[in-house]
Amino acid sequence: MGTSVFYFVATLSIVCSLLVIFSKNPVHSVLYLILTFFTFTVHYVLLNAQFLAVVNFIVYMGAIMVLFLFVLMLLNLNKENEPNKKALVKILGVIAGGCLIVTLVGSLKAVSINSPLVLQNPNLGLVKNLGKELFGTFMLPFELSSILLLTAMVGSVLLTKKEEI
Amino acid sequence: MDINYVIGKFLLVTILFAISLVIAMYSTYAERKVAAFLQDRLGPDRAGPFGILQPLADGVKMFMKEEIVPTNASKWLFMIGPGLAMLCACIGTAVIPWGQDLTINGKAFPLQVTDINVGVLYIFGVVSLGVYGVMIGGWASNNKYSLLSAIRAASQNISYEVAMGLSIIALLVMTNTLSLKEIVAQQHGWHWNVLYQPLGFIIFMVCSFAETNRAPFDLPECETELIGGYHTEYSSMKLGFYLFAEYINMFVSSAVMATLYFGGYNYPGMDWVATLVSPNTAALLGTLVLFLKIFAFIFFFMWVRWTIPRFRYDQLMNLGWKTLIPLAIANIVITGIVIAVVNKF
């Protein structure tokens, strides 16, 4: 049953992410992106990573996408005032996308060569175990990334106050 | 899977839905009666004895009204908006423990739909999802006032979610668990969390007022500035859904506050009842006590609404970012120090 649920949700994620690209209206795009994130949450639940699932739900669906939607609704984008992209930019975009595909295919190939992934501790995704792991084994990277976030926060506050400095 | 288990859960979910809808329905009646009481009026008294059929009359009126979809509105999203608001309001009750386990034919039957071990975070997820109903509805209406109001609602909800999350961290540090069932079980008898976390409770309560868009934080439907708010273009039962979702939200957040800070189904002397009468009676009495606590909170919501005037938008933001968040952080630090000291000795 688990496998069929996975294939169903995976199909949904792919369809939703394709709709993000192909919808004409940017607000619809963002709404499809929210649906895509929701399917990711379901994937995390299927992997028994409850904490990650619920945090993905709160942070990505509940906060970040609200801000995206916020900006797009205020901008009120439509076809007429969309800036015309130059041909060079389009070609560069295609090249960048192609590079990404090559990288992805390459990394997937490396995975298939290795022996199938064995999870050492299937309950790693539960809050208690994840917390112990983050504050024990990965203490330094965890704290460094929090400093990075703090820097970003201070930076954004400074940007709003630039006239006083 | 046990068939009795499935039937039991199905019954519990159905009863919970029915209870939340009926309570939300009669909250509209209670709101008018409380308003009337506070303003020295009579309130609705025509439909049935004491006007008790008024919510039914209102419901019938809502269904009978003509349904209008604005010409340039985005049709699907215009429909999805109120539906999403209603959905998010209703699914919050799933993780709240409504009572101690009942024992039927020697089998324990929990009065909680599901005990996931991230219960508190689930509630936050539902709360943060709730804003989409308002935003989608406000944008799809294709009306400037609706859009402004939707954006106000979104920024208000996001700002107060931060303070709410911080206020609850102190509680989680104290209880050491994210499961609502365990948090309630730890408050056995009269060891209610509000006695240990008074500041956290006040912050949490102010934030839930803001999250449910209730006065004094009802800026998203500030009619003096925004005509009617995000539901300006809505009519008929779609409007009804938005108004109704607010009352269900009020019920759910009252239940969450009662569960987290006021001991949930616990009451002083529950062991005494369990040994003298029977455990099942004690459990049912506990459920009754929980509902009394919820009603007290709902009354408090209404009392505040008819007492305190609406905030200005900058006051709302200052309160959220410059008062509640620093207070919540201070609360975390103090709780951490106290716990460290207590564990040391």
Among A7-16, A127-136, B19-28, B108-117, where is mean pLDDT lowest? B108-117
Measured between beta carbons, the chain A residues lying within 8 angstroms of B77 are: 31
Residues 6+ apart with CB under 8 A from B267: B189, B190, B285, B286, B289
Distance CA B242, CA B79 (A): 11
User: Among A54, A67, A69, whose Cβ lies nearest the Cβ of B122?
Assistant: A54
User: Among A27, A58, A74, whose Cβ lies nearest the Cβ of B128?
Assistant: A58
User: Among A54, A73, A126, whose Cβ lies nearest the Cβ of B125?
Assistant: A54
The amino acid that residue B8 corresponds to is G
How many residue contacts between A and B have a Cβ separation below 8 Å? Answer: 61
ipTM score of the complex?
A: 0.79
The amino acid that residue B255 corresponds to is A
Question: Does the beta-carbon distance from B117 to A50 stay under 8 Å?
Answer: yes
In a structure prediction context, what are the per-residue pLDDT tens digits for chain B, which is 345 residues long? Answer: 678 778 888 888 888 888 888 888 888 888 888 888 888 888 888 887 888 888 888 888 888 888 888 887 788 888 888 888 888 888 888 888 887 777 777 777 777 777 777 888 888 888 888 888 888 888 888 888 888 888 888 888 888 888 888 888 888 888 888 888 888 888 887 788 888 888 889 999 999 888 888 878 877 777 777 777 788 888 888 888 888 888 888 898 899 998 888 888 888 877 787 778 777 788 888 888 888 999 999 999 888 888 888 888 888 888 888 888 999 999 999 988 988 898 887
Partners of B103 in beta bridges: B108
Confidence of residue A120 (pLDDT cuts 50, 70, 90): low
Confidence of residue A98 (pLDDT cuts 50, 70, 90): very high
CB atoms within 10 A of CB A163: 5
pLDDT higher than threshold 90 for residue A148: yes
Among A54-68, A106-120, B13-27, B305-319, where is mean pLDDT lowest? A106-120
Question: Does the beta-carbon distance from A50 to B158 stay under 8 Å?
Answer: no
For the stretch A70-109, what's the b/e string if a residue is b when 16 or more beta carbons lie within 10 angstroms of its beta carbon?
bebbeeeeeeeeeeeeeeeeeeeeeeeeeeeeeeeeeeee
Largest CA distance in chain A: 61
pLDDT higher than threshold 70 for residue A141: yes
Distance CA B55, CA A40 (A): 41
Question: Does the beta-carbon distance from A58 to B155 stay under 8 Å?
Answer: no
pLDDT higher than threshold 60 for residue A87: yes
Instruction: State how far the alpha carbon of A30 is from the alpha carbons of A70, A71, B70, B142, B149, in Å.
Output: 10, 11, 23, 17, 20
Q: Residue A114 has what pLDDT?
A: 54
* Residue in A with minimal Cα distance to B77: A28
Q: Which residues of B touch A (CB under 8 A)?
A: 77, 116-118, 121-122, 124-125, 127-129, 131-132, 135-136, 139, 147, 150-151, 154-155, 157-158, 161, 178
Question: Does the beta-carbon distance from A54 to B118 stay under 8 Å?
Answer: yes
Q: For chain B, what are the domain ranges? A: 3-344
A146/B280: higher pLDDT:
A146
Q: How far is A67 from chain B (nearest CA, A)?
A: 8
Question: Does the beta-carbon distance from A27 to B124 stay under 8 Å?
Answer: no
Please answer whether residues B256 and B204 qualify as being in contact, where contact means their C-beta atoms are separated by less than 8 angstroms: no
